[in-house]
Structure 1
């Protein structure tokens, strides 16, 4: 990779089966290509720090808002059990973005984004990714951690009177973060309704429809797909995560014995946000190792950073 390339993000609208996704590309001529897939309830902005640093290091970096999130289109009648949101739609969107890249990308997938990557890497041939970085997610997860995330997402259906009130709630949810989000940082995460109140960027139908009910049923499929992954994999987990655990990580390493695992000591489930510099360093190290197989850490070995 080449150091110190100055880059900026360009935004586009990417058509998928029935709507358009908001996509940002940094350093379009870079090599290798990295495709970032965010978690449920997040936006492409979750990757801003890492994507900017990796683009500056010479990589093509593509981030996007999943359907129903951020600036991407919402599904009409999204709460409908038949025509609403389904996991296979999200997976198909990611596949379309992957094959649209000039070369098979390295997927960097957090939480939901990582699960979608596991499905595609295990079920689609040829595999659409050159390699994968899974961010604090395994095919089986700790239910209590996911329930805590959903409880936060469902807690404020009437929104907030102002940005300060939203910042207060985020600070309570993420006490490990030292700095509160500013109004500028919050603007992409909130929408002002006709009543003047600020509500989160995601489509409420994501929480009301069948998508969440599907997630637990996906676990056997995810485990079967993981066992078929044949590309290099790095699992980055947070030592303070309540979504993955030593047990779920060990299960994953049994399914994907060639995978590498690095645990970031100060991170929770929100790995990139909690420890962005350490997260970025590990991604850079992994990307560089792909062309130097003799320099890779031992597969399956736990490394704490």
Structure 2
């Protein structure tokens, strides 16, 4: 008999990559998508809270990260991976995407068939209406601009499409942002609310850009409090 409290390995074979991950818990699913430069393990403390609340958590290393193979040089392959992840789950999944994970999720939701499988979207300190100069300054200050330059520049060229997709989404959206060292400015949040007025916005005190690392329990509790009504 399967113990839901024990992590179970997951694997998805893509045409140009092998995505490795794991799931834990039982119940309605959260698909947890980590930020660029991180691994799925960052979601561990978040997952513990979600599992205790009666949910199942699925997390993969994104392509080119951790145990997953493939190149992460453009947003489109990352979005196609998210599509494959969602198609491996029953309908009704809530997608939680941090930074790169959130943008890949938005890009995947371009497809109406993918949207139909999703109960809602949680963006963790990222918005689709990126302002290129501010993004480059933030990454440069964090010493990250040179590590994935090709991916960053590709994402920035996709901003008009990401904005369009977001404006057309009829899914519930939650934006969780840090209040200390966040990548977002007030105008970024205002732009998201203009694109998708039905978005719920929640700050997490004491968190910067990587909220899953800085304040995992507060992040998880915020997600549960808002998304319970989405299913």
TM-score (norm: length of structure 2) = 0.89
1:120 Cα offset (Å):
2.2
1:152 Cα offset (Å):
4.2
Q: Is the 8 A contact 2:73 2:148 kept in 1?
A: no
Instruction: Give secondary structure in 2 for the equivalent of 1:211.
Output: helix
Q: Is the 8 A contact 1:33 1:103 kept in 2?
A: no
Instruction: Give secondary structure in 2 for the equivalent of 1:130.
Output: strand
In structure 1, the gaps of 5 or more residues are: 76-83, 155-205, 292-305
CA distance in 2, matches of 1:290, 1:6: 23
Number of aligned residues: 223
Instruction: Give the aligned CA root-mean-square deviation in angstroms.
Output: 1.9
Decide which of 22, 25, 29 is 1:24's aligned counterpart: 22
1:225 Cα offset (Å):
1.1
Aligned to 1:9: 7
Instruction: Give secondary structure in 1 for the equivalent of 2:183.
Output: coil
> Given the alignment of the two structures, is residue 69 of structure 1 paired with residue 65 of structure 2, yes or no?
yes
Q: Is the 8 A contact 1:46 1:273 kept in 2?
A: yes
Q: Is the 8 A contact 2:14 2:81 kept in 1?
A: yes
1:57 Cα offset (Å):
2.0
Larger gyration radius, structure 1 or structure 2 = 1
Aligned to 1:200: none
CA distance in 1, matches of 2:228, 2:152: 36
Aligned to 1:87: 75
Matched ranges for 1:31-70 at <5 A: 31-70=27-66
Instruction: Give secondary structure in 2 for the equivalent of 1:74.
Output: coil
Aligned to 1:295: none
Decide which of 216, 220, 225 is 1:276's aligned counterpart: 216
CA distance in 2, matches of 1:265, 1:54: 19
In structure 2, the gaps of 5 or more residues are: none
Per-residue CA deviations over 1:180-202 (Å, capped at 9, x if unaligned) read xxxxxxxxxxxxxxxxxxxxxxx
TM-score (norm: length of structure 1) = 0.69
CA distance in 2, matches of 1:241, 1:250: 18
- After superposing on structure 2, the runs of 4+ consecutive aligned residues of structure 1 that deviate more than 3 Å are none
Instruction: Give secondary structure in 1 for the equivalent of 2:10.
Output: strand
1:31 Cα offset (Å):
2.4
Per-residue CA deviations over 1:59-103 (Å, capped at 9, x if unaligned) read 11100101100011134xxxxxxxx73211000001010011022
